[in-house]
Amino acid sequence: MLLLEFFTPIDPLKTPQLVLALVVAFSMLAIVLELVRRQKLREEYAFLWICTALVLTTLALSTSILTWLSDLLEAQSLVSILYFGALVFLMLVALQFSVRLTKLTFRGKTVNQRIALLEAEIEELRDLVDDLKAGGSKDAKKPTETPLEIPRSATEIEVPKKKGPRNKVS
């Protein structure tokens, strides 16, 4: 009985707080849909943010869920539950992006190493072609056909332009 006297009853969301939560949720939904339409946000992330907007709307409109959560966590205010949920959500999103960034860093490192190996191999082939053009060396075999011209840089490579519409791959 004495413990119950220390806890104040939880007030439902006041009208300005409810309006703000709903405005934020619907604004988030509109922004996400516009970003997907402009192809600035991938669908997999859009799903996450749309679900977030729906959860925020549900929590704002249904104070019984917030009241249950506040009783479970012994919170003094429903707004503090919303803030706590937002903080936990943002921490999880940051963790997910950190994991993806780590994967991309390793992938970038691997790609750069492969490029370096390929560049070294190309340089060896250029040297071999140069030796063959200069009259050959004792180690190199003379080709039966004329040697190919190997471009020295990427700017010397001519890439044929495709005709027709471009297919975008996401």
Least confident of 30-44, 102-116, 124-138, 144-158: 144-158
Assign 3-class secondary structure to the chain.
CHHHHHCCCCCCCCHHHHHHHHHHHHHHHHHHHHHHHCCCCCHHHHHHHHHHHHHHHHHHHCHHHHHHHHHHHCCCCHHHHHHHHHHHHHHHHHHHHHHHHHHHHHHHHHHHHHHHHHHHHHHHHHHHHHHHHCCCCCCCCCCCCCCCCCCCCHHHCCCCCCCCCCCCCC
Q: Which residue has the higher pLDDT, 138 or 54?
A: 54
Average pLDDT score over the chain:
78
Query: Which amino acid does the sequence have at 122?
Result: I
101-132 pLDDT, tens digit per residue, is 999 999 999 999 999 999 999 999 999 999 88
Look up the pTM and report it: 0.57
pLDDT at position 13 is 66
Given a cut of 80, whether residue 47 has pLDDT beyond it is yes
pLDDT at position 119 is 93
Given a cut of 80, whether residue 166 has pLDDT beyond it is no
